[in-house]
Every structure is written in C-alpha cells, then in structure tokens.
Amino acid sequence: MQKVFEFNRNKQSVVSYFSPEEQLFVDPIDISVVIPVYNEEQAVRILIERICKVLQRDVFEIVIVNDGSTDNTGQILQEISNNNTRVRYLAFTCNMGQSEALFCGFQHSRGHYVVMMDGDLQNPPEDIIALVDIARQGYDLVSGERNKRQDSFFIRKLPSIIANWFISKVMGCHFKDMGGMNCLRGDIARKIAMKKGYHRLIPAIVHCMGGKTTEVSVSHAPRTTGVSKYGFFGRSLEVILDVLVLWITYRIRPLYFFGKSSLLFFAFGIFAMLWPLTSKIVICSLVMAIVLFLVGIIGEFVGGSKSCRVFYDSFEK
C-alpha cells in the first residue's frame, strides 16, 4: 500500500490518499465515478458493489472521497480499497463540504469521462452507462433529471424547483434538475474552479463556460439508509447567493457591471447638486461612483486571464 498525505487547496484539512501502488498510472481509464460521502456506512459497500457490477465490462475507477465522516465509513472504505484495485479512496480529516470533496475527486480522477453521483444509494448506478453513452455523442456534460424524485416535497423538492427556476432565469440555462447524476468530459471536470456550494451548479458552470450540454431522464430511489444532510431555508439562501456569484463570474464583465452602477450614482450626485439637498448626499454619491468604478477596473484585471482560460483552453477538442 502507498499512503500519501497532502494539503487540500484551502489548507484547512489534510486529505489522505490510499491506493494500491501497482495500480497507479497504468491502464488508461475510460470512466471515473467520483463519489463524495459523509456518514454513509450503511450504503457505501452496497453502492460500490453495484457500480462494479454495472461497469464490469469497462475500464473504470471509483474515486470515493470521505468528507470527514464520524461513523465507520472511513474504515469500511479503506478495507474495500485494500481489496479492490478499482477503488481509490481519499479522506478529509474534517468535514469540508460536498464541493470540496468533489473538487478533490475531480483532481484525482483519470477517466476520459467523469460521472459524479451521491453516496446514499438514491442515484442508481445502473444509469451510469446511459449517461456515458450520450456523452460519447459529443457532449461536454450530460445532466440527469431525476424521474419521479423520491424525496420530501417541502425539504428537498420545493427548494430544488425554486433553485432551478432561479438559475434558468439568471443564467439562461434551462436544466430542469441540476442536483442529480452528471457525466462530464474528464478534462473539463479537472479544470472546473470549484467554490463552496458549486457542487449543485456544475451543469450551469459548464453551460456558462461554453460547453455543449444536454439533459436526460434518470431513475431516483428513496433513501433507505442514513439521514439527509440538507435543510430548507439555509439551502435555498445559499443557492441564490451561489447563483449570483456565478452570474457575476461568467456572465458579465466587472467593469460593465460596476461601471453602470457607478454612472447611476454619479448621475444622482450631479442631480443632487442642482437641488437644495445636503452636501453629504452629493459627496456620498460621488464617492460611491468612484469606488464602484475602481472595483470594476480591479475586476477586469483579476478576471482577464481567467476568461481566456475558460473559453479557449477548457473546450479545446
């Protein structure tokens, strides 16, 4: 066994990497299945067995990331990875969140296609082949729309409906469901700049990066083990904030966005000078106009190199 320790990108947790030494960088991998898990001791063994059965005719790997589980998930996964050369096990020393776990799994994946799925058995592994087959037709991402979703309406379905509607209006990408299984080209998955909360926005991210995307129906099973880690109000608010950040990042140039706001404040300041208003209003408006204009210029410098990388490098065939 080879055991490698490295710091993750935020340097807040140590990720332990367990993989059989003889399997490192040998056969070309066609499909990487990336699974973040947190306290799923009752599900992980069954999940891995089902994936291996479905993909037994393919060259594949399972990259499973333990996001600081406090139950026996870690021990079970380490045991499985010791006896199954297709399973690559990574572990955070503390809970970092699903986005960080996905980012870690993406970076350690080697497949030409990367399938991301949950570890709670609600995403049937039997749908993996269908997603990959459609991706082979030239798509950069295939999103799975959960058919007859088996979740609580108020806790899970309603926030998802609101989030998907909001995302479609703001981002212009018309996915009906972005929270299910997704299949991406491996090179794209490994280049996504994943921020906290972005795990639920990956189809929108690829769409905004100029990728060719589609959506297909997939199955969805009720949760039979463990408990859901999501709430209603906190999750809905996080989605709205994440979408706004994503919109600013990919849809608008900072100078145009802040420049327009700057012009509005500047115009208000000039208008205020013509009327018997207090000088404080005039001064505050003009100062705000200058500040927003400078923020836009800084955003242009910071985001310039990123924009070139996103649109020209990520989707080079």
Q: How far apart are CA 105 and CA 100, in angstroms?
A: 9
Residue 189 scores a pLDDT above 90: yes
CATH of domain 2-250: 3.90.550.10
Q: What is the pLDDT of residues 221-267, one digit of tens each?
A: 666 665 555 554 555 566 666 666 666 665 555 555 555 555 665 66
Only one residue has tokens 């800084």, namely: 298
Residue found by looking up tokens 């795990």 in the block:
199
- pLDDT tens per residue, range 196-227: 778 888 988 898 888 999 999 998 766 666 55
Tell me the per-residue pLDDT of 90-145, one tens digit each, with 9 for 90 and over.
Answer: 999 899 988 899 999 999 999 999 999 999 888 999 999 999 999 999 999 999 98
56 CB-side CA count, 13 A: 5
Q: Residues 91, 16: contact at Cβ < 8 Å?
A: yes
Q: Where are the domains of the chain?
A: 2-250, 254-313
pTM of the model: 0.71
Q: What is the pLDDT of residues 72-85, one digit of tens each?
A: 999 999 999 999 99
Q: What's the pLDDT at 286?
A: 64
Res 180: pLDDT: 82
